[in-house]
A and B are shown apart, each in its own frame.
Chain A
C-alpha cells in the first residue's frame, strides 16, 4: 500500500536521466502516501547492472526484467510485461516519463490494466493521503488539477520539470521473471538515426530556435554556430512558420502542433511569439529573445531580450559564449 512504481527508461543499456528525475519525485510522493518508491527496468541481458544507481535516487526496490526479447522496444511486449508487474503488487501509483517512448507505452499499459492515464503531468502533490497531478491543457493556456478515482493512479511526467538531486541510499534488487507474449504483430524493420551528434529538441538542455525573422533557410548556419558554441546537449528548434515554409523539418518544431519543451535555456531568434509557439516552450527555465521588433509578443515571456538584427547579434553571441566556455 502506498508504494509508487516507476517505469525506468534506458537506451542502449544506459539509464536515461529522466528516470532519475521520476524516481526522485516518486520517492517524495510515496513518502506522503505512506509507502516507498519502486522502479522497474526492462531490457536485454545485463541491463540489471544499472539497477543499483536508481537506489541512489530513492528507489527502495529495483525490479529487473531481463530478457533478449526486451532488448529493443517493441510496444506490445513491453506493455504486457509492465502490466504484469503493475498487477503483481498493490501499487498506489505508477509513473512513466512523458518522453516519446513513454507516450507510446503508457496508454497501452493503461488499457491493459484498465486504469485511466494522466499524461504529461508537470506538478504532483499528496493532499490528505490522495495524489493529485497537474497537467497543462489547451497548449498550456490552462492547468488542470486531476484527481484519480481508479487505483493505481497512472501518470506520465514531463521531463526536466521535477529535477533530480541524488540521495544516499541503496536499492534492493529483485529479478522480475516476465512472461513474454508471443504472436506480436509489430516488426521494427529499420532505424535511421538523425544527423550524428544532434540532440533531439525534446531532450535538449539548451535549445536555439529560429523563426521567420531568420529570413531564409540559408541563414541557419548562424544558429548552428551558436548551437556548437553552447556545446553538447544543445538542439536546434524551429517555429511553425518556418516548418510550414519548408525551411526546417517538423521534428524541430516547438509549439502546440510540434514538441513541448522545458530546457534550462531557450533562445528564440526571429520568433514573434504566437500563442502556438509559446504553448510549447513557456515552461523553459530561462528564455532569451532576439527580435527586430521591440513589440513582438515573445518579449513578454522572455526573461532577457535583445532588440536587433539576428544576423549581427548571433555571431557575436557565439563568440562571447565560446570565450566564456574556454575560460572554463
Chain B
C-alpha cells in the first residue's frame, strides 16, 4: 500500500531559543534543525507497514521554505521513496497549513496519510485531524501502533486512563505518538541512494494566516529554589515547608 507521511522541519529540542524585545519570531542564527521527533515515528510506521504488507511507496511531504529540502533528504535517506516540498511559509495558523496539505492530498490516490501527533516547535497538535476533516476522512490521533487490513486501519490510541482500539475505513489519516516505532538510522547506502530519489518542489496553495503572533516573551523565571538539606534527615523540614509554606500537602 502506498503511504504519505507529512513531516515538519523544527529546531532541535535541545536548542536554546533566543529573540529580541518585541520580536514575533525567534533568531534563526546558529539553530540546528531536525525532523520533528513525532514525525519520525510516523516515518518508521510507514516503512514497517510497506515492508510487512507487500510493498508500496512511501512519499514524504512537507510545507516549508527551500531549507526544508534538507529535512526531506533525511527522510529519503532513512528509506522514503519520493518527496515533495510544498513551498510556502508556515505560520501559527495550523488551519492554513492544513488547507495547503489537503489541497495536495486531494489530488493523490494514497489511502493512508500519517502525521506526527504534534510538531516539536508550535506544539499545537492540530494539523493532522484538520486535514482529515477538510478531506472528509476518518482520523485517529495519538496512535501508538496500527495494522492495515482489508480496507481498514486498526489503531491503538493512547488516551487518558488507558488504551482505545479504533477502526477507520480507508482512506484515513493517523497521527502517531511514541510507541513501538523508533526511526531506524539512515545507512551510508541510504544516504547515497537518497541523492537519486525524486524530490519535487512546487508552490503551496496556502491561504493567508488568520492567527497572528503579536509578541514573544520569555517564560517567567521560577523564583530561586532552596536546598533544604542533605539526605533523609532533611525530610521532616521538607514536609513541614510543603504543608505550612507551600500549602500543597
Contacts and interface: CB of A to CB of B under 8 A. Distances in A.
24 contacts: A100-B160, A101-B159, A103-B125, A103-B141, A107-B128, A108-B132, A115-B210, A116-B211, A118-B92, A143-B219, A185-B138, A186-B168, A189-B166, A189-B167, A250-B177, A257-B178, A302-B225, A303-B246, A306-B227, A306-B231, A307-B229, A312-B231, A320-B239, A321-B239
B140 A186 contact: yes
A111 interface: yes
B222 A303 contact: yes
A92 interface: no
B90 interface: no
Given A142-B17, A144-B216, A299-B225, A190 B95 contact: no
B123 interface: yes
Contacts of B26: 138, 142
Interface stretch (B8-16, B45-53, B70-78, B183-191): B8-16
Contacts of B164: 188, 190-192
Tell me the interface secondary structure of chain B in the complex. Answer: mixed
A203 interface: yes
Q: Which of A104, A107, A190, A285 has the most CB of B within 10 A?
A: A107
Interface in B89-147: 92-96, 98, 120-134, 137-142, 144
Nearest to A311: B232
Given A111-B129, A119-B124, A146-B214, 13 more contacts: A104-B142, A108-B129, A119-B94, A141-B218, A141-B219, A144-B216, A145-B214, A186-B140, A186-B168, A190-B164, A206-B248, A305-B225, A313-B235
Contacts of B21: none
Contacts of B133: 79, 107-108, 111-112
Given A100-B159, A185-B168, A306 B229 contact: yes
A320 B241 CA distance: 12
A215 to B, nearest CB: 17
A114 B246 CA distance: 44
A317 interface: yes
Interface in B159-216: 159-169, 172, 177-179, 209-216
Give the contact-size bracket for chain A: 35 or more
B102 to A, nearest CB: 9
B234 interface: yes
A242 to B, nearest CB: 13
A117 to B, nearest CB: 6
Contact of B212 (A147, A287, A317, A324): A147
Contact of A111 (B98, B166, B227, B230): B98
B235 A146 contact: no
A313 B17 contact: no
B28 interface: no
B228 A191 contact: no
B236 interface: yes
Q: Which 3 A-B pairs have the closest CB atoms?
A: A111-B133, A107-B126, A190-B165
A28 interface: no
Contact of A304 (B163, B211, B214, B238): B238
B116 to A, nearest CB: 10
Contacts of A203: 160
B217 interface: yes
Contact of B239 (A136, A260, A317): A317
B140 A194 contact: no
A13 B15 CA distance: 44
Interface in A48-75: 75
A248 to B, nearest CB: 12
A205 B244 CA distance: 18
B162 A193 contact: yes
Contacts of A184: 138
A202 B125 CA distance: 15
A174 to B, nearest CB: 27
Interface in A242-279: 243, 250-251, 253, 256-258, 260, 264-265, 274-276, 279
B8 to A, nearest CB: 13
Given A75-B129, A191-B164, A250-B144, A136 B177 contact: no
A119 B161 contact: no
Contacts of A115: 95, 210
B31 to A, nearest CB: 10
B130 A107 contact: yes
Contacts of B14: 274-276
A29 interface: no
